[in-house]
Structure 1
């Protein structure tokens, strides 16, 4: 089996490559591609490939001739997508279209890591939607992810190439960018503890609720897809989450319980989202039934690991 992972340098991409390497049976080959050079990883071939350059991408895919492709190369941050809409559309759609056309020339199965953010306004009617709920994206990130799902369906179905879509909820873990709320809390607290920042924690909308899942559980979901790739139906769409909506305020309370540092909380408008639905979860039961997967890492354990990693970064 030959497994190709796009977005090799991203938060999830690197972890998936590491997991594939640890779990590698005899004969499995692994290729990670990213726009930028990546640190070496034993047992994994890494290539600098710009997804915007169709000819280069085509050549890399054709030369490797993958069995399964995990497409992770996209903007994960809703906030960043909103700040750079033109780049968000170009990065997500053009990169996905080029990859789809390259994979359409192979016999691979493509697995796209979309997001539950595609449900958008549908969260108002059903805070924990299942896959039967029609997406109604209300953010740039949601619209680009939804459009990518259509691109893959149209291009690959026409070529007779199988594809699957996973829609992960809000995944978190050590080393995540501080553009995400939980990672931002961890980083700020670590700096406050070391006296590198005043005892003021900047926050956004604490009343918002999300389905927070550890990145290792999302990685495990990808590995389970790899094991069951022949059994899962072409065009299958699956939510990947815990099924539990946790208020951001509860994340902050959990971090307070992990530190002796005293701090005040300050709401900053640029950390709040002007649009979107406050409570966003998902129903992952279809994926659990189809694969036997289930989230294994409790939220408190994830948050403790994030704070420990943030402390290590500040010394």
Structure 2
């Protein structure tokens, strides 16, 4: 088997590559491509490719001749997309289009990492939407992800190439950027414990609620896709998440129980998203039924690992 992963240098890309090399049979060929050079990883070949250069990308894909492609390259956070709208559209759409055109000339199956953010305003009526709910994206990230789903549907269907769409909710894990809420809380607490910061934690809207699940559960979901890829229908869309909605306030309360440090909380406007939808989750039942996947890591365990990693980075 030959597996290609785009966005190999991003947080999720690196963790997926680590899971693939450990979870797939010996002899599997794994290629990670990214626009910048990457640190080595046993069992993985890296290739530096600019996703905007269609010819270079097409040659790289053709030379590797993958059986399955995981397309992860994109701006990872809603905040990043909102801050750089022109680049977000260029990176997500042009990168996806050039990859789709390259994969259309192969026999590979393309798995696209979309997001539950595509549901947008639909969350108001269905906080835990299933895949039958029509997306109504209300952020740049949601709109670009939704547009990429259409690009793949059009380009790959025309070429007779199979593709699947995964819409994960909020995956979390150690080493994630502080632009994400759980990583931010953990890093701030770790600095407060060491006396490196004042005993005050900056927060956004604590009433916001999301479906948080461990990044290792998402990489396990990708392995289940590989195992069941022949049985999954072309163009299928699957939500991937815990199915449980947890408020940011509950996340903070759980982290408080894991530290002896005391601190106040300070709300800062720059940490509040502009849109009004506050409760966002998903119904992952269809994916569980199709693949047998279930999340295995309790949220409290994820939070403890994230906090311990934030502490270790200060050593």
With the shorter chain as reference, the TM-score category is: over 0.9
1:287-306 alignment, distance < 5 Å: 287-306=287-306
8 Å Cα contact 1:138/1:276 also seen in 2: no
In the TM superposition, structure 1's runs of 4+ consecutive aligned residues that sit over 6 Å from their partners are: none
Q: Report SS of the residue matched to 2:138.
A: coil
- Measure, in 1, the Cα distance between the counterparts of 2:312 and 2:35: 28
1:1-315 alignment, distance < 5 Å: 1-315=1-315
8 Å Cα contact 1:51/1:57 also seen in 2: yes
Which runs of 5 or more structure 2 residues have no equivalent in the other structure? Answer: none
- Measure, in 2, the Cα distance between the counterparts of 1:110 and 1:276: 33
8 Å Cα contact 1:120/1:276 also seen in 2: no
For residues 81-113 of structure 1, the C-alpha deviation after alignment (integer angstroms, 9 at most, x for no partner) is: 101101111110110000000000101000001
- Measure, in 2, the Cα distance between the counterparts of 1:26 and 1:43: 9
- Measure, in 1, the Cα distance between the counterparts of 2:297 and 2:272: 28
8 Å Cα contact 1:35/1:48 also seen in 2: yes
The structural deviation recorded for 1:276 is: 4.0
- Measure, in 1, the Cα distance between the counterparts of 2:104 and 2:98: 10
- Measure, in 1, the Cα distance between the counterparts of 2:233 and 2:118: 21
The structural deviation recorded for 1:26 is: 3.4
TM-score, with structure 1 as normaliser: 0.99
- Measure, in 1, the Cα distance between the counterparts of 2:10 and 2:215: 12
TM-score, with structure 2 as normaliser: 0.99
8 Å Cα contact 1:211/1:282 also seen in 2: yes
- Measure, in 2, the Cα distance between the counterparts of 1:259 and 1:128: 32
Q: Report SS of the residue matched to 1:39.
A: coil
The structural deviation recorded for 1:259 is: 0.5
The structural deviation recorded for 1:11 is: 1.1
The structural deviation recorded for 1:9 is: 1.1
- Measure, in 1, the Cα distance between the counterparts of 2:55 and 2:199: 51
The structural deviation recorded for 1:76 is: 1.4
The structural deviation recorded for 1:274 is: 1.4
Q: Aligned pair count?
A: 315
Q: Report SS of the residue matched to 1:59.
A: helix
- Measure, in 2, the Cα distance between the counterparts of 1:26 and 1:204: 46
The structural deviation recorded for 1:24 is: 2.5
The structural deviation recorded for 1:208 is: 0.4
